[in-house]
């Protein structure tokens, strides 16, 4: 399926929500350190509820390690500065959906990484600064999965 990568996430409930989302979609969640919380954090457990056993979650020391573990793949970096709309991408199984930390998004060096296939944006109304990280990950993952006919879903 798809690989959802959170680069240095800071807010436990967002990661907990993402754990629940990947459990429901068959995606894998990759967390790139440093994390702004402990994986045992009560907020993380509460948001993920009982889905932790159903989800594939992998923690990596850095982005290089995360992308190396995934192997060759197209990497879509989600940013408010992206030129391509998320629904305009033709996703394929194995694609990487890369999201930045909650307060600042993806850093410039990650956005400039030659492994990034495209910078992708989710539209918002003017004046809005950003959307919630776990909501963005869910929007993108469900669009990618929809394009695959919700393969394996019921």
Parse the chain into domains and list their residue ranges: 3-147
**Residues whose CB falls within 8 Å of the CB of residue 53, separated by 6 or more in sequence, listed in order:** none
Residues annotated in a binding site = 100, 122, 130
Cα–Cα distance measured from residue 97 to residue 4, given in angstroms and rounded to the nearest whole number: 5
**pTM value surpassing 0.85:** yes
Q: Is the pLDDT of residue 15 over 70?
A: yes
Token pair 């990568």 is found at: 5
Q: Is the pLDDT of residue 47 over 60?
A: no
- SS3 at position 30: strand
Q: Is the pLDDT of residue 115 over 90?
A: yes
Cα–Cα distance measured from residue 87 to residue 122, given in angstroms and rounded to the nearest whole number: 8
Residue 52 · residue 15 · CB < 8 Å:
no
Residues annotated in a binding site for S-adenosyl-L-methionine = 100, 122, 130
Q: Which of 3.40.1280.10, 3.40.50.880, 3.40.640.10, 3.60.20.10 would CATH assign to domain 3-147? A: 3.40.1280.10
List the structure tokens of 97. Answer: 């959906």
pLDDT of amino acid 87: 97
């Amino acid at each position: 399926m798809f690989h959802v990568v959170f680069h240095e996430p800071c807010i436990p409930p967002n990661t907990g929500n993402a754990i629940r989302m990947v459990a429901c979609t068959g995606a894998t969640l990759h967390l790139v350190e440093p994390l702004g919380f402990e994986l045992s954090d009560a907020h993380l457990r509460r948001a993920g509820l009982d889905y932790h056993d159903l989800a594939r979650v992998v923690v990596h020391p850095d982005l290089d390690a995360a992308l190396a573990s995934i192997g060759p793949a197209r990497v879509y970096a989600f940013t408010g500065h992206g030129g391509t709309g998320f629904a305009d991408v033709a996703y394929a199984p194995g694609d990487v959906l890369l999201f930045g930390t909650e307060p600042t998004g993806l850093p410039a060096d990650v956005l400039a990484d030659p492994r990034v296939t495209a910078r992708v944006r989710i539209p918002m109304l003017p004046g809005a600064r950003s959307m919630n990280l776990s909501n963005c990950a869910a929007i993108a993952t469900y669009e990618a999965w929809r394009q695959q006919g919700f393969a394996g879903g019921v």
